[in-house]
Amino acid sequence: MGLIETNGIIIKEMPYRDQDKILTVFTEKEGKVQCIARGVRRPKSPLLASTQVFAYSELVYYPGKTFGNIQQAHLIESFYALRNDLNKMALGSYLLDLISNSFEVYQESPEILKLLLHCLFYLSENKAKNDLVIVAAFQMKLVSFLGYRPGLTACMGCRKETDLSYFDIEGSGLICGNCREADHYTYRIEPELTGFLKDLLAYPVKQLKNMEIADELVIKAMDILEHYISHCIGKASKAYSFYKDMKNLTL
């Protein structure tokens, strides 16, 4: 197989040998791939900027059995502003972590890549009224793309459309008080929160970024969605725990 030329965002990096790195890249043409980038930890490497986490780059690599081999990388967007703000960096890292955890190697989605780039752009360029809404929107759209769109209009147990006061993680959506199962993990949910979750499903991020909404409500939605996603994909996000720990320390 010949050289692959594609755009991709670096979602993870690991030092390898003395001067190399193993990168996890979410690419347009091949989805999630792992590549070795040789010599890029040398301070004067011309590929330094284009192979670091968050860099969206034009890549040329030889595909390999386990690892591709990067030949060229040209930086398109560094999302530099994310690196100067601990809060934004933690939120952006969570989005990358979600991709890393929920995509298989070679699983692709140009739509989710585009969504990720838009969300990182809104975060880094301060385009959102509330950064947390961007994150919650990404969670909701990602989990729906993965095939686990939560049911929010009728009880997942009896299909009743009133008194939907709980979000049932194992039940994949809202349930009424009668259908609550003792061995399921459920969150008590207020109408305002239900309305917000529905908005996250209904509107594009471009519109949601203009939403003015209290942090407290968005954080409740984020907590539920992170729990729900980790249940669906069988893996909790370390970046999310890091973000929560950091927030608790600074409150």
Applying CB under 5 A, which residues contact Zn ion? 155, 157-158, 160, 176, 179
**Which residues touch 101 (CB under 8 Å, ≥6 apart)?**
233, 235, 237
Report the distance separating Cα 218 and Cα 77, nearest Å.
28
- Of the pair 4, 179, the CB lying nearest Zn ion is at 179
**CA distance readout (Å), 206 to 12, 119, 191, 203:** 26, 9, 24, 8
At residue 59, what are phi and psi to the nearest 5 degrees? -115, 145
Report, in Å, the least distance between residue 154 CB and Zn ion: 8
- Of the pair 180, 235, the CB lying nearest Zn ion is at 180
Going through 38-193 in order, the beta strands assigned E by DSSP cover 56-62, 68-77, 166-168, 173-175, 186-188
**Which residues touch 189 (CB under 8 Å, ≥6 apart)?**
164, 165, 166, 167, 174, 224
- Of the pair 158, 214, the CB lying nearest Zn ion is at 158
- Of the pair 144, 178, the CB lying nearest Zn ion is at 178
Report, in Å, the least distance between residue 160 CB and Zn ion: 5
Q: Is the dihedral of CA 99, 101, 106, 109 positive or negative?
A: negative
Report, in Å, the least distance between residue 175 CB and Zn ion: 5
Report, in Å, the least distance between residue 150 CB and Zn ion: 15
Six token digits for residue 59: 């890549």
Report, in Å, the least distance between residue 156 CB and Zn ion: 7
Spatial CA neighbour of 144 closest among 181, 112, 117, 183? 112
- Of the pair 115, 179, the CB lying nearest Zn ion is at 179
Spatial CA neighbour of 34 closest among 91, 113, 103? 103
Report, in Å, the least distance between residue 67 CB and Zn ion: 49
The residue written with tokens 């095939």 in the block is: 147
- Of the pair 39, 157, the CB lying nearest Zn ion is at 157
Report, in Å, the least distance between residue 179 CB and Zn ion: 3
- Of the pair 99, 176, the CB lying nearest Zn ion is at 176
